[in-house]
Amino acid sequence: MNLTTVTMAHLAKLDPAARRAKLGDVVRHNLTVLSRQIAWVGARPPLERLLRMGSNILPGYTHLAVRALYAEPDLRAEVDRGLAEAGALARSLGVRLSFHPGPFCLLASRNPAAIENGLSELDYHAEVFGLMGYGGGWHPHGAHINIHVGAGDPGVAGFRETLPRASRLARDLVTVENDENLFGLDEVLRLADLVPVVLDLHHHWVESGGAYLEPDDPRIARVIDSWRGVRPVAHISVSREIATAGCDPALLPDFGALRDAGHSVRDLAAHSDLMWNAAVNDLVARHLSWADFEIEAKSKNLASMQIAGHILARRKAAAA
């Protein structure tokens, strides 16, 4: 069920035949695993049918050292077929797909090389989505590639300047997320006319010094509008269990009290293993009226199942 990878340094040590065989084995494994992951998520209850795919499905796809290998007819055919089958499976099972490239995929920087790398990474993720059958316009089936703005200088203006250089496919799939440092929700909403905004409730809590957004906050309407008719996606986690050991799970964590207890902002920004806080889970339940949620707790599917079970139990109790 896990993707694997191979480094370009390792491939460079191999003779051409061994290099071709090694890359082919990794790619075939990853394509099989991707379909297995989609099938597993597709068998979960509808509330849980979101999957953030790993970026390393096709290791080194944009790297000069192996680009020619991906162009060889046999491997090309396997990639095209495997991705098309995975995409069709996701659509048939109602699984919403996303990518979240690493922090190196940024569009705001004063470093031209960083910008070129960011565009290359964004276009790679978009090409994978296109091969999976998600190349039909604005965020088809809710598909998205979520990134952060980038460097504080040039910030939002730099993002706005760089995005037109990405492929049309990438521009139709990209989203931007608020963070806990330079680009809080109000700053990211300056891009709402250009790309959909992914609201991260935990990042907002940290960046704002402890504010909890409710669905009736006026900024939520602006987030929804940025998606242009597609159901939005939001993110949630909660502070790590080690930093919140004394907190009542029935109450929303108190940012000020945790800071007064000696926890740094960095400590509080770190994601928990599980969705341990019932009050935060209830907050997510209220926001489900307008968005799907990706659970960013470290234990991934276990945390997702935990919060989904909590929400479904609350719904059942309310209906009784």
Residue 183 lies in a domain: no
Beta strands in the chain (DSSP E): 50-53, 96-99, 144-147, 174-177, 197-200, 233-236, 292-295
**Domain total for the chain?**
1
> Per the structure block, which two tokens stand in for 124?
């790679």
Residue 56 lies in a domain: no
SS3 breakdown of the chain: % helix, strand, coil, rounded to 5?
Answer: 50, 10, 40
Residue 65 lies in a domain: no
How many CB atoms neighbour CB 182 within 10 A? 16
Instruction: Render pLDDT for 74-129 as a digit per residue (tens, 0 to 9).
Output: 999 999 999 999 999 999 999 999 999 988 899 999 999 999 999 999 999 999 99
Residue 298 lies in a domain: yes
Q: Radius of gyration of the chain from Cα atoms?
A: 20
The per-residue pLDDT string of the chain (320 residues; one tens digit each, 9 = 90 and over) reads 999 999 999 999 999 999 999 999 999 999 999 999 999 999 999 999 999 999 999 999 999 989 999 999 999 999 999 999 999 999 999 999 999 998 889 999 999 999 999 999 999 999 999 999 999 899 999 999 999 999 999 999 999 999 999 999 999 999 999 999 999 999 999 999 999 999 999 999 999 999 999 999 999 999 999 999 999 999 999 999 999 999 999 999 999 999 999 999 999 999 999 999 999 999 999 999 999 999 999 999 999 999 999 999 999 999 99
Contacts of 244 (CB under 8 A, 6+ apart): 238, 253, 258, 272, 276, 277
SS3 of 50, please? strand
Tokens 């965020």: give the residue: 139
Residue 293 lies in a domain: yes
Instruction: Render pLDDT for 193-204 as a digit per residue (tens, 0 to 9).
Output: 999 999 999 999
Host domain of residue 288:
200-320
Residue 75 lies in a domain: no
Asked whether 291 and 47 are in contact (CB, 8 A), the reply is: no
pTM, rounded to two decimals: 0.97
Residue 51 lies in a domain: no
Residue 257 lies in a domain: yes
